[in-house]
Amino acid sequence: MKDIIISVATLGGFGALFGVLLGVFNERFKVEENPLSKAIYDALPHGECGACGFPGCFPCAEAIAENRAVLDACTVGGQETAKKVKEVLENFKKENNKQFSNF
């Protein structure tokens, strides 16, 4: 019985230690995302098909945000998605008073 209690206490201690370490490292090595990329990603259809030439929707959204891809890069969504992306860019431009070329 004593062996079981020691094993459970040891396992629980390791679990708590690793949980705290994960929390600390999560805050320490946090990756900041571009809010524009996230907003564009939300406007895309999330097909993750790669028809646009990117490996998924988020890389496509990042490329549009960085002006490396055209607004209608998503062929699956068509013109409806291109209009949504354009609206997102216009709203972001108004909210942040940033200058974007070619938009």
The pLDDT tens digits of the residues spanning 7-48 come to 999 999 999 999 999 999 999 999 888 899 999 999 999 888
Q: Do 52 and 86 belong together in one domain?
A: yes
pLDDT digits (tens, 9 = 90+) for 54-83: 999 999 999 999 999 999 999 888 899 999
Q: 59: which 2 tokens? A: 């890389």
Q: What is the C-alpha separation between 23 and 74, in angstroms, rounded?
A: 36
Domain range enclosing 5? 1-30
**Which one has a higher pLDDT value, 103 or 77?**
77
Q: Tell which residue, 60, 56, 58, has the closest CA to residue 68.
A: 60
- Whether residues 88 and 42 fall in one domain: yes
Q: 22 and 66 in one domain?
A: no
For residues 6 and 50, state if they share a domain.
no
> What b/e string do you get for 8-33 counting C-beta neighbours within 10 Å, with b at 16 or more?
eeeeeeeeeeeeeeeeeeeeeeeeee
Same domain, 51 and 76: yes
Long-range contacts of 10-16 (CB under 8 A, 24+ apart): none
The whole-number pLDDT of residue 98 equals 53
Q: Is residue 13 part of a domain?
A: yes
What per-residue confidence (pLDDT) applies to 93?
85
